[in-house]
Structure 1
Amino acid sequence: MSYVLLVLTTLFWSGNFVISRGMHTEIPPFTLAFWRWMTALLILLSFAVVHLWRQRELARTHSRFIILQGILGVGGFNTMVYLAMQTTTAINAVLVNSSIPVLIAVCSWVLYKEIMSVRQCFGVLVSLTGVVLIIAHGELAHLLQVSFNRGDLYMLVAAVIWALYSANLKRYPQGLHPLAYQSGIVMVGLVVLLPLYLYEMASGKVMSVTPGSVATIVYVALFASILAYIFWNRAVRDVGANKAGPFIHLMPVFSAILAVLFLGEKIYSYHLQGIALIFTGIAMTTFKVSPGE
């Protein structure tokens, strides 16, 4: 079940990348981040308020953990992603985002001395090769033509932040309800985002209220925020950050599928080859082949 949750998480996040890039002229980055999480909080509270009240003492005991996770996972990561999508392409973002499994492994080792096996390391390399194959359209020359800019640096910072957030889930308080935890980190994140949102509005950057912008906010709030975060948090706690990390490489797979379904694009042989490598790599990092591993 945990692996199904990871697949759904990457599907929802793939849509988030595509939509945020497509709507970057209508919705400023801090505005999108703020209203994404404000909408998510309003939805969450209708289900979580009972759990928050019952577990207020437990949440208070672990307030430092919740505050740190809120700063990293809500205030920091999403803000950097939306900043990145203002000046970079979806291809560049997915390419940089693909470094997350490696960064998670590094953070897990530095913080908690967790070491990936040789097989898991090789699996990450295989799935990363599949990502590169898709991005390069099957030809190395395409990859060499990709240029990087300031937005890519923002995306790299976002990847580091998410790796820290994911590795830190090892410290998740036992017994804390997922809805109580999610509501707590969202509240913290909104405190971080509010001054950035107000500054953005004061500088004249405001959201165009259109059916498209409203639909975008609803999608990123419900699917990319509430469901994806709850699924990711649960799966990482169950299987560990190092096993969950390579599932990030499914994002270019889902991006390609979404492009075919909604944008009329075509699937080419390099897509299928890349997808095969990605699934092979994920299988290598996920499933044991001998009792000794």
Structure 2
Amino acid sequence: MIAYLLLILTPLFWAGNHVAAKGVADIADPLLMAFLRWGLAFLILLPFWLPKAIRQWPIIKAHFPLLFWLSLTSVGCFNTFIYLGVETTTATNTTLMHAIIPVLILLLNRLFFKESVGGLQWLGIAASLMGVLVLITQGELQRIASLHLNPGDVWILAAIVTWALYSITLKFKPKELEPFTFFGLSVLIGLLVIFPFALFEQGGFVVPTLETPVWAVVVYIAIFPSILSYSFWNRGVAQLGASTAGLFIYLIPVFGTLLSILVLNETMHSFHLIGIALIVLGIWLAVVRRVIAGIRQNRIKTVN
């Protein structure tokens, strides 16, 4: 029961990250927000992480190029692109577009690793991609021809692609590297990647003057979507399995939309509903049916 609760809280915190970032987008620079978020998270982790990192340094050194890539695409790019995106798009769009991640992972696995994809799965991929196009064009598909797309939605789409690339290459992470050590290393490398860009954004070494709401958001996103969500997700996967836990990702658009309406007073439009319907249909055809079938087969084997 606790595992299910933790897996419900995880997408709630992740959705809250997008809504909180959108709430302060007008008064906080996006790259600075990304740097402060991971900087505070790393300071909290450091006393617990450093002894483990020293002990596992030979593993880190042997696999550093791969670990750098995983850190770049996750901590370095994913949330940074999200913070750049919410400056010019809605938190609703941001969270809804996250629903395409499992389908995109399926597509990239087919492209790069030749994993088999059935006819219904291809149909699901097409439906989900059409749903995203509806969202980023606000239901006016002719915008594609004129390239009048919201730049914020393009940033969010770039973030989703980087997370999908991270996910399909995560399988190559050395198994002997402890998850907590890997997480702390990803935060450290991500910080080093973000730092020069945040420095350029601020015009050099300056002490930023931030309003109280911004610091409150930094504390929230450093603790809840970063540290706690990571811990909750790992425990949920360990107890229920990756296939079952993965289904909880689809709560991100639900929580994100509700929080956007309640906290930011954003409006739900007809193109949102159309986009949601297409994405949900695509997810069901491409991913959920297959996952549920796999869970049922495992249960039958267990019983027998």
Deviation of the 1:151 alpha carbon: 1.4
State the aligned residue count.
282
Find the counterpart in structure 2 of residue 139 from structure 1. Answer: none
Equivalent residues of 1:124, 1:285 under 8 A apart: no
Given candidates 287, 292, 297, the residue that maps to 1:287 is: 292
- Unaligned runs of 5+ residues in structure 1 are 136-141
Decide whether aligned partners of structure 1 residues 284 and 197 sit closer, same or farther in structure 2, where only a CA change above 3 A counts: same
Deviation of the 1:149 alpha carbon: 1.1
* CA deviations over 1:65-116 (Å, ceiling 9, x no partner): 2111111101111111111111112233234333322211122223333345
CA RMSD in angstroms comes to 4.1
TM-score where L is the length of structure 2:
0.74
CA distance in 2, matches of 1:131, 1:224: 24
CA distance in 2, matches of 1:143, 1:21: 22
Task: Return the letter of the residue paired with 2:84.
Answer: L
TM-score where L is the length of structure 1:
0.77
CA distance in 2, matches of 1:236, 1:124: 25
My pick for the range that moved more, 228-237 or 207-216, is 228-237
Q: Does 1:239 align with 2:242?
A: yes
Percent identity of paired positions between Structure 1 and Structure 2: 36
Deviation of the 1:194 alpha carbon: 0.6
Find the counterpart in structure 2 of residue 201 from structure 1. Answer: 202
Task: Return the letter of the residue paired with 1:253.
Answer: V
CA distance in 1, matches of 2:128, 2:158: 22
Equivalent residues of 2:103, 2:128 under 8 A apart: no
My pick for the range that moved more, 205-214 or 188-197, is 205-214
Decide whether aligned partners of structure 1 residues 109 and 266 sit closer, same or farther in structure 2, where only a CA change above 3 A counts: closer
Decide whether aligned partners of structure 1 residues 259 and 72 sit closer, same or farther in structure 2, where only a CA change above 3 A counts: closer
Specify the SS of the correspondent of 1:288: helix
Task: Return the letter of the residue paired with 2:179.
Answer: P
Equivalent residues of 2:19, 2:260 under 8 A apart: no
Specify the SS of the correspondent of 2:174: coil
CA distance in 2, matches of 1:196, 1:228: 26
Q: Does 1:170 align with 2:171?
A: yes
Equivalent residues of 1:123, 1:284 under 8 A apart: no
Matches within 5 A, 1:1-293: 6-115=7-116, 143-144=139-140, 148-202=149-203, 207-231=208-232, 239=242, 244=246, 247-259=248-260, 262=263, 281=284, 284-288=289-293, 291=297
Equivalent residues of 1:128, 1:249 under 8 A apart: no
- Unaligned runs of 5+ residues in structure 2 are none
